[in-house]
């Protein structure tokens, strides 16, 4: 749609059950009811907003990937990886696994 002028108003009557369902979808998606309805009309897929614990998990996974990259870089340049680096990767992997198991 060009511009932000929405001139058409469509009255909509809902049952109590329909309204509760709409409110639940809006809360899960993080969208207002109006934005949610517009997205549905346009055929968009509505996904639940990520849980707050996902952010921490992604940070830990990112740290593991950074450490793996550092170990690989060191191994490529020197031909060996230090035991300390390998131990650190194992520790972070175990933390991530515990986090995943506790959250899911």
Domain ranges of the chain: 12-49, 52-103
- pLDDT exceeds cutoff 60 at 38: yes
Q: Is the pTM of this model over 0.75?
A: no
29 or 70: whose pLDDT is higher?
Answer: 29
Q: What is the C-alpha separation between 71 and 74, in angstroms, rounded?
A: 5
| Contacts (Cβ under 8 Å, ≥6 apart) of 28 | 48, 49
Percentage of the chain beyond pLDDT 70 is 95
């Amino acid at each position: 749609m060009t511009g932000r002028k929405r001139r058409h108003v469509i009255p909509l009557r809902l049952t109590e059950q329909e309204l509760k369902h709409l409110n639940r979808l809006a809360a899960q998606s993080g969208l207002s009811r109006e934005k949610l309805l517009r997205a549905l009309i346009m055929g968009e897929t509505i996904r639940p907003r990520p849980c707050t614990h996902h952010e921490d998990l992604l940070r830990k996974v990112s740290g593991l990937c950074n450490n793996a990259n550092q170990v690989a870089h060191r191994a490529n340049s020197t031909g060996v990886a230090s035991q300390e680096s390998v131990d650190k990767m194992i520790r972070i992997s175990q933390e991530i696994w515990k986090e995943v198991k506790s959250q899911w």
